Structure 1
Amino acid sequence: MGTVSNVLNNPEKVAPATVARVQKAIAELGFVRNDAARQLRAGRSRSIGLVVLDVGNPFFADVARGAEARAAEAGLAVLFGSSDERADREGAYVDLFREQRVNGVLVTPATADLTALTRLQDAGIPVVLVDREADDDALASVAVDDVEGGYLATRHLIDAGRRRITFVGGPLSTRQVHDRLEGARRAVAEHPDVALDVMEMPALTVLQGREAGNLLRARDAASRPDGVFAANDLLAVGVLQSFALLGEIRVPEDIALIGYDDIDFAAATVVPLSSIRQPAREIGATAVDLLLAEIARAGAGGEHGPGGGPGPDAGERRIRFRPELIVRASTGG
């Protein structure tokens, strides 16, 4: 049994001919290793956890793909969950991951309260925030500068000659939405002749975008905005659908429209959508790299701590990507 164990766990210690014979026997017998028992002995699983706000949002789907690919390179699997922007669901997933003895957790927090995540890290399970930064250095993070992104989107509308701008987003308690609005306000503050109106919606979905578009259509022409900045592309697609339904509001002639995230089908809408691009897959992959570095730094990585590849320096715990303006027909590009 010792030889078989070495073939499974430390094949470099066994003669190649012996490895071949044991592997042949394993294949003939249909043997499957009990990895659960192995995890109990090791005290850690071969997995990491990932919780995002909304699995239906293509941005987070791409983040997950990037994380999954990088984790696979490190010999780890990703346990995936969607909080639906609910703190109780996020907490349930975090508790499950802790029970599963995952190596670490990636999470896009549903609320500003990070106490549970800090406790998880204090318990020996490293945590990395994804698409969100902590207010201090207690938790490592990989994010995009959403304030700059909001500034770029709004400045683009202003440069296109728009002077009555509506920000559609929500809930405003969501950190990403709050920061994008902050960027919009900074751009407007530079132009005294530009007004900014805020339309808070309960969710960042196509359905809520359509509702926002309907509310804008219901206004008389003189009180409508001439530019709309939607806090993500799903909202922007819904707004565009509402405007196109009756054809009474033309994009961009009457209202210029820009979204955020640059999801795959932003370029394929009936009027190709201008957007602020976030490198979603790179964010996911970089978050795994940083988590592996956190695991190694905490001395909790064991066999899989370094991840078998290079990662960020242990001191580089807050990684911020810069957003990119993508101009298409919806703003006259």
Structure 2
Amino acid sequence: MSVKNRKAPKGILGFPVAPMDEEGKLDLDALGRNIEFLVEEGLSSVFVACGAGELHAISNEEYRSMVQVAVEKTKGKVPLYTGVGGNISHALEQAKISEELGAEGFLILPPYLINPSQDGLYNYLRKIINATDLNAIVYQRDNCILELETLQKLCEIPQLVGFKDGVGNMELNVEFTHLIGDRLAWINGMPLAEITMEAYVNLGFTSYSSAISNYIPHISARYYDALLKGDKEVVNELYENVILPIHRIRKQKNGYAVSLIKAGMNIVGLPVSTNVRPPVAPVEKEHYEQLKVIIQKAFEKYPAHAEPVK
């Protein structure tokens, strides 16, 4: 396909999970409902099979089926992006699948295992970006840490439309945003991005990926609206009552950036189990119950369309 819109989505970006049954098999019906929920709740776009979608743990056959569901559920409604990355051969195949099925673009996750040099990273990203005509967004995290010169060089490729930061090096972000400017869309990709968006928005980061939008999207919407309007009272209240308490649970265990999302979705009654694939571990019962209390109180204080399951 030929992409004419060389702009990344803005606003609150939706990142669905990879729902799984008791045997660990993908539940595509639940994925479809997850995506429908995000679209119905006003998320600006959908990014399927990324970090929250356990890209690291799915086969490319499963990947194809997830993208097919996402295309069906988003077509004509919101832009669809996919995740690609890890093993370079797999990433190139994923990019081709995304193009074949009709995605608008993809988010490039870090290469597998290797701690690369800047020229190695450039070649990895360049090869994936140039593999298709789709829009591409690079994801700064883990072993994919770019220096200014590398990112500037990548900006010569027209398919590159965005930069997502999952590291939190604000000194580097200041350098990037001031010297590259609006050539790229700037996306906050920190874990539970509502925690840091107050700092990022001042640097020109107009978008962020929201984990909690999978189960309490009205909270994300209320938070971001208040942040953009400069309503510190509402922002502080949401931090105190909802965002920071969830963040404290998320920090209890590695992998909760993924599994805590599924727990939240399960609590509000969406058809998603808490099952995840190793090495990610499911949420412990104690933390599940703590999250349930936070969510119930959030619905009581900030009503939405439906009450969570008791």
TM over 0.5: no
TM-score, normalised to structure 1, is 0.28
TM-score, normalised to structure 2, is 0.29
